[in-house]
Amino acid sequence: MNDATKCPACQSEHAYQDRDLWICPDCGHEWSPTAGGTAEAPADAGVRDAHGNALSDGDSVIVMKDLKVKGSSSVVKGGTKVRNIRLQDATDGHNIACKIDGIGAMNLKSEFVKKA
Ligand SMILES: [Zn+2]
């Protein structure tokens, strides 16, 4: 029995295997087990900004380019400081959830921000 499998997203020990996937009931994360048990370099170990600095929940970041806000005509200007980000799992790359003054809640891609 392998009881060492934890959810890579939230470290929950409640993860279970379903066919070829592991599923975490706590956060909904799904992932494929690493074949062979070899520890490969984790490609997505944490969220990194445009300069490769690791980001954490609660960090402040600066938007590096103008970003159109989906579903509105608003634009987040490059240079906008965003406080209190929250990292999230996102298959489309929008791995930062945040609230921006004058815009509201939105998601950002970490590649377009730098740590403040
Ligand atoms: Zn989880």
Q: In angstroms, rounded to a whole number, what is the distance separating the alpha carbons of residues 112 and 67?
A: 9
Output the pLDDT for position 45: 62
DSSP the chain: -------TTT--S--EEETTEEE-TTT--EEPPPGGG-----TTSSEE-TTS-EE-TT--EEE-S-EEPTTSS-EEPTT-EE-S-EE---TTS--EEEEETTTEEEEE-GGGEEE-
Q: How far is the CA of 15 from the centre of ligand 1 (A)?
A: 7
Mean of per-residue pLDDT scores for the chain = 87
Q: How far is the CA of 13 from the centre of ligand 1 (A)?
A: 8
- Predicted structure pTM score: 0.59
pLDDT digits (tens, 9 = 90+) for 18-63: 888 899 999 999 988 765 444 544 555 689 999 999 999 999 999 9
Output the pLDDT for position 29: 94
Q: How far is the CA of 108 from the centre of ligand 1 (A)?
A: 21
Lowest pLDDT segment from 33-42, 51-60, 66-75, 83-92:
33-42
Output the pLDDT for position 33: 76
Output the pLDDT for position 44: 53
